[in-house]
Structure 1
Amino acid sequence: MVSRRRVLVGLLGLSLVRGQGLRVEEVVGGLEVPWALAFFPDGSFLVSERPGRIRRVRGGKATVYAELPVYHQGESGLLGLAPHPHFPQEPYLYAYRTVAEGGLRNQVVRLRHQGEKGILERVILDGIPARAHGLHSGGRLAFGPDGMLYVTTGEAYERELAQDLSSLGGKILRITPEGKPAPGNPFLDRPGTRPEVYSYGHRNPQGLAWHPGTGELFSSEHGPSGELGFGHDEVNVIVPGGNYGWPRVVGRGNDPRYRDPLYFWPEGFPPGNLAFWRGGLYVAGLRGQALLRLSLEGERGNWRVVRVDTALSGYGRLREVQVGPDGALYVTTSNRDGRGQVRPNDDKVLRLR
């Protein structure tokens, strides 16, 4: 829980998180639905805003780095962001966006870093399903330890797409930095399937994080709130070719055909991103309006959640959580997304130390 005692340090707001030994600093505010962060080697970082802007933040000030045309409705627009793993030697930035021109769909695009700006270079993956009013777009981008780009996609409110291996919807995809299906993907040689697919049976996956010890991929996913009652948001351990059950299974189905979640919220906690930090797995909550710390026990292929603590609350809806190059944990609020209560100076990027 966040203490009410606050002091100012320069231009940064500072608060203490009780019981966690954490300090919370407000790095920058006044953003419009920030979705993802991408860090540069010089200590600055980029933040995507869902209406189509990418801002660069240095010294607590945000300037426009790029503007992309997007279809900004509901949950869609400019979403995930990821720098090339060998940046700046490979001066590229990747973004996930929704577009309407030529037919409504989601894309992964590549920008080239040029001085103070990012220049849209080309589309590297097209045809990811999207829906009018922007529901279930997925949208997280992250490079894995293998140097491949992982992409989460929603099923665009068409449930059966999650089980359809000929569709890019309701999946986690794995592609090369050039946008080709990654070597070793589980469905590369199967007729009638998309070779980019890494796992399937997902409803609306929102987060990606790799275990720092084992290299296993963990993902957060929105459950069917409002369709089958509130809840069943999930954290999953992702394996190549795994079927995670939607819409056949909600929560734990105990069906050997589908992989059960590592953890789920029966009451509902639609998660944003997730990140490993200080020995725990931190999950940002949107409707849950909290940052949770999941304590894990076990070993590769056999994990269990043994404790859940609230690490941060009092800031409203939280979407992005990511470890910065300075070792701090960065979190974004999402109170201006049409579903939150807007607070002074929203939306914000927070830094936890």
Structure 2
Amino acid sequence: MTRRRFLQALSALALARAQGLRAEVVAEGLEAPWALAFLPGGGFLVSERPGRVRLVRGGRVGLYAELPVYHRGESGLLGLALHPRFPQVPYVYAYRTVEEGGLRNQVVRLRHEGERGVLDRVILDGIPARPHGLHSGGRIAFGPDGMLYVTTGEVYEREMAQDLASLGGKILRITPEGEPAPGNPFLGRRGARPEIYSLGHRNPQGLAWHPETGELFSSEHGPSGEQGFGHDEVNLILPGGNYGWPRGVGRLGDARYQDPLHFFPQGFPPGNLAFWRGALYLAGLRGEALLRLTLSGGKGAWRVAGVETVLSGFGRLREVQAGPDGALYVTTSNRDGRGRVRPGDDKVLRLL
């Protein structure tokens, strides 16, 4: 390691310590990691965008599964989630882009077989994708209701986000078997996809539920040239809510659309977000930082009372999740084609 890189690493750790955090590297040498899934009994799975799932346990990194994907731009192997009753129900869910039979995104599930995962079946197909590979969405997570939530992008076709006949530019809600979830807001509406939970999204990247109220929060990329720049968002997601893209950006003040809980006028393209120690943490890609958002108010009336940087110096950050051990886990994303690769990249960091 050169002296300059050594000093950069020290600076990053100093910032974490200044905020009362200690950062350690628990896995490295990964290629564009996208999502984590924590295993009962210790260890975790991490997806790599080129199509691999790695198993990290006891300081060792092994190959858990390898799936064929269309890997270009922001597409490939993206989100991961475990069945809510895992391992009794031994399924791992993944979001991927595929080319065979027509380019699209889909949600698949793997059967967990100890140290390996074996593809079981596709549970949701036909999510829009385009050859440029951009705006594929890709975050998946099971909510407190036991349903699987899926974020999808509008693949740079803006009006898709307002089209109830399309799965693009939405947050979807499905059962573990891939059926539209009971109680979805557009069930039975003629011409509408019954999987849709909310619409008007450009490229949502994160999902997190408030640990006390159970409310759903999401992070989303604002425009990068097609309608100005910036205005990346943190949203409180309501069933049937329309979040306004492409009718405008930021706070529209229009009763037809849900205004963001918080937005960044100058831009802070986010990865995932997570609740931890009473605050909401947001990973930044181009912003290259981990932010802590302090919330005030209460259910249905939240506001962001403060925003502060708690970690920087590691480059692009994509995943953030609270682990079962009480720590906060963050992944770097410097090998995704848009970052400056640092020694050991990409990494999984553990913060305490």
TM-score by length of 2: 0.96
Q: CA deviation at 1:31?
A: 0.2
Matches within 5 A, 1:263-282: 263-282=262-281
| Correspondence for 2:186 | 187
- By percentage of residues, which structure has more strand? 1
Q: Alpha carbons of 1:261 and 1:285: their partners in 2 closer, same or farther (altered >3 Å)?
A: same
| Correspondence for 2:35 | 36
CA distance in 2, matches of 1:148, 1:40: 19
Matches within 5 A, 1:75-224: 75-224=74-223
Q: CA deviation at 1:43?
A: 0.8
The letter for the 2-side match of 1:234 is E
Q: CA deviation at 1:230?
A: 2.0
Cα deviation, 1:240-261, whole Å, max 9, x if unaligned, reads 0000000002111111100000
| Correspondence for 1:243 | 242
The letter for the 2-side match of 1:121 is D
Cα deviation, 1:46-94, whole Å, max 9, x if unaligned, reads 0000000000001222100000000000000000000101100000000
| Correspondence for 1:65 | 64
Q: CA deviation at 1:162?
A: 0.3
The letter for the 2-side match of 1:181 is P
CA distance in 2, matches of 1:312, 1:4: 15
Q: CA deviation at 1:222?
A: 0.4
Conservation of the 8 A alpha-carbon contact between 2:9 and 2:314: no
CA distance in 2, matches of 1:40, 1:131: 33
CA distance in 2, matches of 1:272, 1:51: 18
The letter for the 1-side match of 2:250 is G
CA distance in 1, matches of 2:311, 2:9: 15
TM-score by length of 1: 0.96
CA distance in 2, matches of 1:286, 1:265: 13
Q: CA deviation at 1:132?
A: 0.8
CA distance in 2, matches of 1:160, 1:215: 30
CA distance in 1, matches of 2:172, 2:32: 25
| Correspondence for 1:10 | none
Q: CA deviation at 1:225?
A: 1.4
The number of residues matched between the two structures is 346
CA distance in 1, matches of 2:111, 2:124: 16
CA distance in 2, matches of 1:54, 1:187: 34
CA distance in 1, matches of 2:132, 2:64: 27
Q: CA deviation at 1:129?
A: 0.2
| Correspondence for 2:22 | 23
Conservation of the 8 A alpha-carbon contact between 2:252 and 2:259: yes
| Correspondence for 2:296 | 297
Q: Residue 22 of structure 1: SS of its match in structure 2? A: coil
The letter for the 2-side match of 1:215 is G
Instruction: Give ranges in structure 1 of 5+ residues lacking alignment.
Output: 8-12
